[in-house]
Amino acid sequence: MLYERLVRPALFRVAGGDAEAVHERTLGVLTRLSPLLRRYPVAGGPRRTVFGVDFPNPVGLAAGMDKNGVALGAWPALGFGFAELGTVTWHPQPGNPRPRLVRFPDSAAIVNRMGFNNLGARALAARLAAFGPAPVPVGISLGKSKVTPVAEAVEDYVRSFRVLHRYADYVAVNVSSPNTPGLRSLQDRAALGDLLGALAGERAGVPILVKVAPDLTDAALGEVLGVCAEHGIDGVIATNTTLGRDGLTPADTARATGEAGGLSGRPLAGRAREVVAFVARESGLPVIGVGGVLDPDDALRLFDAGASLVQLYTGLVYRGPGLVRRISAAAARREGVR
């Protein structure tokens, strides 16, 4: 395909191969085009109504691509049926030191240790207020500020929720990134119960989802699902990036050994399906499947495993924006939608 033959090699050479610089430049172009692109009609596909929200098609932008909501007008024009912004934190923060984004093209994978770099919840709220109604549903992913001790995490999340929930069609509670110290401990039963209980008390009708790590055992996942049930949580996002390095080529495995952070892309596909299937089977909650979606068949397998919706990030990097519409078209053909 044109993107993979010509565009991707050129992009990967930009800024001496600095992956984050390429991301920033691409996002900058989309930001400038956003006012124009938001006028384009929303891409069709098999519609979904999930946790009470109507989605024009089931393919969404995963959190991490547009943390500050700067290109919100562009994502529907690229074919996305929804966009998840963030992860955003209460306090603005620069994230971890650069370099912090490493590509492994032979394995169709990325390792990132971004560390929730973002301008803060109040800045995102101001941007969304100025933007006005979005053409597709918007999710907002919330995380813990690095400067906030884990013991004070609940109030950190609640503050972000209070200023952002009115702009969200759903809120994702990110307790599974491997790049903020102590964050994954919030998946433990007691800590997660305190957090979800506090957020549920603030929900004001906004669906709340929990994003889980692929590295949890089935027993630990079961505990997370139990806490979700106790607090009336509306859905699960499965999964975040993994600390594992399985599925990389031997050469990439050697390179990745010294790279801290979470792995995404093709090596995560199998585990993502397993977690989606477990969550769907054990909880009955709606699931957004994310991880290793690099072609339409990957997305269809997530749907078969029980996902109601899917999200892309690494697949967009390696396959280009055309992947979004190819997935929607494949899902429409399967469902007989025209």
What is the dihedral angle through the alpha carbons of 190, 194, 200, 202, rounded to the nearest 10 degrees? -170
pTM listed for this prediction: 0.97
Residue 148: pLDDT band (50, 70, 90) is very high
Outline where the chain has alpha helix (H): 2, 8-13, 19-37, 121-131, 153-164, 189-200, 218-230, 250-256, 269-283, 296-305, 314-319, 322-335
> Pairing relation of β-strands 82-88 and 101-104?
unpaired
Residue 64: pLDDT band (50, 70, 90) is very high
Active site residue 34: no
What share of the chain in percent tops pLDDT 90? 93
Q: Among residues 34, 141, 177, 283, which one is catalytic?
A: 177
pLDDT at 338 over 70: no
Q: Comparing C-alpha atoms, which of 241, 239, 237, 275 is closest to residue 260?
A: 241
Q: Which two tokens stand for residue 213?
A: 């790590």
| Alpha-carbon span 183 to 145, nearest angstrom | 10
| Alpha-carbon span 298 to 307, nearest angstrom | 12
Q: Comparing C-alpha atoms, which of 152, 307, 190 is closest to residue 237?
A: 307
Q: What one-character DSSP code corresponds to residue 93?
A: B
CA distances from 126 to 27, 36, 68, 70 (A): 19, 20, 10, 11
Cβ-Cβ contacts under 8 Å for 207 (sequence gap 6 or more): 51, 52, 53, 169, 170, 171, 234, 235
pLDDT, tens digit (0-9, with 9 covering 90-100), for 278-296: 999 999 999 999 999 999 9
Cβ neighbourhood burial of 318 (10 Å; 0-12, 13-18, 19+): buried
Lowest-confidence segment of 1-10, 67-76, 138-147, 271-280 by average pLDDT: 1-10
CATH number at residue 131: 3.20.20.70
Backbone angles phi, psi at 55, to 5 degrees: -110, 125
| Alpha-carbon span 300 to 295, nearest angstrom | 9
* Residue 252 domain boundaries: 2-335
pLDDT, tens digit (0-9, with 9 covering 90-100), for 208-231: 999 999 999 999 999 999 999 999
Q: Count of domains in the chain?
A: 1
pLDDT at 16 over 90: no
| Alpha-carbon span 268 to 56, nearest angstrom | 27
Q: Is 109 helix (H, G, I), strand (E, B) or coil?
A: strand
pLDDT at 319 (0 to 100)? 97
pLDDT at 17 (0 to 100)? 85
Residue 44: pLDDT band (50, 70, 90) is confident
